[in-house]
Amino acid sequence: MSPEFWWYVTRASALIAWVLLVISVTWGILLSTRVLKPNDNPSWLLDLHRWLSGLAVTFTALHMFSLYIDSYAPFSAADLFIPFHSTYVQVTSLGKWPIVLGVLCAYLLIAVQSTSLLMKILPRRFWKAIHYLSYAVVLMVSFHAGWSGTDVRAWMYRVVAILLIMLTTAALIVRILFPKSARTLSATVEKRRPNQLSEVKRSMYVRTVTHPATGIKSLTFADALVSELPTWVPGSHITLHLPDGMKRQYSLCGDPADRSGYEIAVLLSQQSRGGSKFVHEELHEGSTVEVSGPHNHFELEPSSEYVFVAGGIGITPIKSMIESLPARRNWRLLYAGRSRESMAFADALEQAFPERVIIHADDEKGAPPNLDDFLGGTSSPVYVCGPEPLLNALMERVPVGKLHYERFSAVARDTEEGIAEYEVTMSHSGKTFSVQQQDSLLEAITKNGGGLISSCGEGVCGTCEVRVLEGKPLHRDSVTSDEDKDEIGVMYPCVSRSSSAKLVLDI
Ligand code: FES
């Protein structure tokens, strides 16, 4: 073996580890800020981030091992693991510091990587605090690599080093400018809030119609003028603007990668107030209808494992979530319904994912699904869409932060009534007005020129969402959990009020 072999290994592994680390941190920043949204995908961002960081640790280990073997720059085990032990100096004015930083980086990398592997069982705050150290690592590595390698004076090395330092700087600037947490809900507030004065509608025609189950009609809408529709993420819905002025939201259930059309599946409801009746009776291939959106209140957050529960037509957003997941992602689905004939996509899902999908048709099993057996004490996020009893049963079993849901209808909110009169300020116009407890906040906003668009008026669809800048709302909607709304600072004024004397809204 050439005597230079281990020197080459040392230098190559160092450079590769550095490149991987910078890209991994950059990827992590893209994941936490979602600045590329909606043209990214949290699942593959997370996969790639983990894969790159694992690889960076592997190459770091190889770098240390080859340093130990290589005789060109002699390093003992103590030199590699004890700061200030090595006497190796490449740039005299910096003394031992570049090597010391390298040793410290190795420890920090191990801490970051091992806590990431144990993420599921560690308190999230602890994991996060350690994970933030990766920013320090990437900066320290720049100094270590830039001033301690035997080839630091080679122009090629300098070019690579400058590029990596520039990329690191750019990534950290993005992180500072977009400090919001990785919660996808918060990252999508701007995107999914079609505030205020108008909403963009497009005239779409029905391209295809199918009947995937008894009483369910599936339609794909396309735009004759554009071949590529706006991107959307699983869990999104579109709003159909019916000729009589009604607006109805339906979850998209197709493949998010197919941008040629929006697919929905609609159950003909016995209690239809016109929406599903119109879809079933008036919309045929070639029919046109105005459509706005897609918007999203039910977004899939990055996770290594998912549990899905769908009841009846609640399968629609869940289906698009499942179809967007990478092939090797861990997930399982419990899909419950009254009978197999009434369960859209049941057979297709079962055939495509026989190991992961449990179809529970009441008429076949003779009893409701056993949720305790299915959940099995999972600590994974649970996504559910279905009727109220199913949702309530899951709320009793899954911790608040782990349960993500979408409702079909408004729930009776058993909350206190809020204060008798409160003051609302619209931050854009500076206008302030008073609202009585029993009055609609949405109407008061509209009367005062706020121009919020709305749809259901029942706190279900999420259309009237508005960001709260100051004050404490009294949530009375059924869109998401109160914790989620408070975390991202939004409210739905069609039904919600204030529990503080003053509210400042971002309108
Ligand atoms: S209009 Fe539907 S939630 Fe307010």
pLDDT tens per residue, range 216-248: 999 999 999 988 898 888 899 999 999 888 888
Q: Which residues pair with 263 in a beta bridge?
A: 220
C-alpha 437 to ligand 1 mean position (Å): 18
Per-residue confidence (pLDDT) for residue 445, from 0 to 100: 94
C-alpha 171 to ligand 1 mean position (Å): 37
- Does the beta carbon of 206 lie inside 6 Å of ligand 1? no
Per-residue confidence (pLDDT) for residue 11, from 0 to 100: 86
Mean pLDDT of 360-364: 93
Per-residue confidence (pLDDT) for residue 343, from 0 to 100: 96
Q: For residues 234 and 254, what is the distance between their CA atoms, to the nearest angstrom?
A: 9
Q: For residues 485 and 429, what is the distance between their CA atoms, to the nearest angstrom?
A: 24
The closest-lying atom of ligand 1 relative to the alpha carbon of residue 493 is: 4
Q: For residues 39 and 30, what is the distance between their CA atoms, to the nearest angstrom?
A: 11
- Does the beta carbon of 455 lie inside 6 Å of ligand 1? yes
Q: For residues 55 and 111, what is the distance between their CA atoms, to the nearest angstrom?
A: 15
Domain covering 305-406 in this structure, CATH number: 3.40.50.80
- Does the beta carbon of 33 lie inside 6 Å of ligand 1? no
C-alpha 496 to ligand 1 mean position (Å): 10
- Element spanning 310, H or E: strand 305-311
The closest-lying atom of ligand 1 relative to the alpha carbon of residue 456 is: 2
Mean pLDDT of 303-329: 89
Per-residue confidence band for 435, with pLDDT thresholds at 50, 70 and 90: very high
Return the best residue to mutate from 455, 480, 490, 507 for the ligand 1 pocket (most ligand atoms within 8 A of CB): 455
Quote the pTM value: 0.62
More confident residue, 69 or 408: 69
Per-residue confidence band for 184, with pLDDT thresholds at 50, 70 and 90: very low
Residues 6+ apart with CB under 8 A from 309: 318, 333, 334, 335, 336, 371, 374, 382, 383, 384, 385, 386, 390, 394
The domain segmentation of the chain, as residue ranges, is: 5-182, 192-296, 305-406, 421-505
> Which tokens sit at 62?
């190889």
Give the model confidence (pLDDT) of 25-46 as tens digits. Answer: 888 887 666 566 555 555 567 7
**Least confident among 113-122, 239-248, 302-311, 355-364:** 113-122
> Would the CA dihedral through 441, 447, 450, 453 be positive or negative?
positive
Residue in 178, 202, 203 with CA at minimum distance from that of residue 190: 178
Per-residue confidence (pLDDT) for residue 406, from 0 to 100: 87
The percent of residues above 70 in pLDDT, for the chain, comes to 89
Residue 345: how many other CB atoms lie within 10 Å: 21
Per-residue confidence (pLDDT) for residue 203, from 0 to 100: 94
Per-residue confidence (pLDDT) for residue 191, from 0 to 100: 44
Written as one string, the DSSP assignment of 385-443 is: ES-HHHHHHHHHHS-GGGEEEE-SSPPPP------SEEEEEETTT--EEEEETTS-HHH
As assigned by CATH, the class of the 192-296 domain is: mainly beta
**Least confident among 144-153, 220-229, 481-490:** 144-153
Per-residue confidence (pLDDT) for residue 415, from 0 to 100: 58
Give the model confidence (pLDDT) of 68-105 as tens digits. Answer: 988 777 788 898 999 988 888 777 777 888 899 999 99
The percent of residues above 90 in pLDDT, for the chain, comes to 38
- Does the beta carbon of 478 lie inside 6 Å of ligand 1? no
The closest-lying atom of ligand 1 relative to the alpha carbon of residue 477 is: 3
- Does the beta carbon of 494 lie inside 6 Å of ligand 1? yes
Q: For residues 290 and 286, what is the distance between their CA atoms, to the nearest angstrom?
A: 13
User: Does 3.10.20.30 match the CATH number of domain 421-505?
Assistant: yes
C-alpha 478 to ligand 1 mean position (Å): 9
Per-residue confidence band for 185, with pLDDT thresholds at 50, 70 and 90: very low
Per-residue confidence band for 390, with pLDDT thresholds at 50, 70 and 90: very high
C-alpha 457 to ligand 1 mean position (Å): 5
Return the best residue to mutate from 454, 475, 478, 491 for the ligand 1 pocket (most ligand atoms within 8 A of CB): 454
- The alpha carbons of the chain give a radius of gyration, in whole angstroms, of 27
- Does the beta carbon of 371 lie inside 6 Å of ligand 1? no
Per-residue confidence band for 145, with pLDDT thresholds at 50, 70 and 90: confident
Mean pLDDT of 2-7: 78
Q: Which residues pair with 497 in a beta bridge?
A: 474
Residue in 466, 185, 149 with CA at minimum distance from that of residue 300: 185
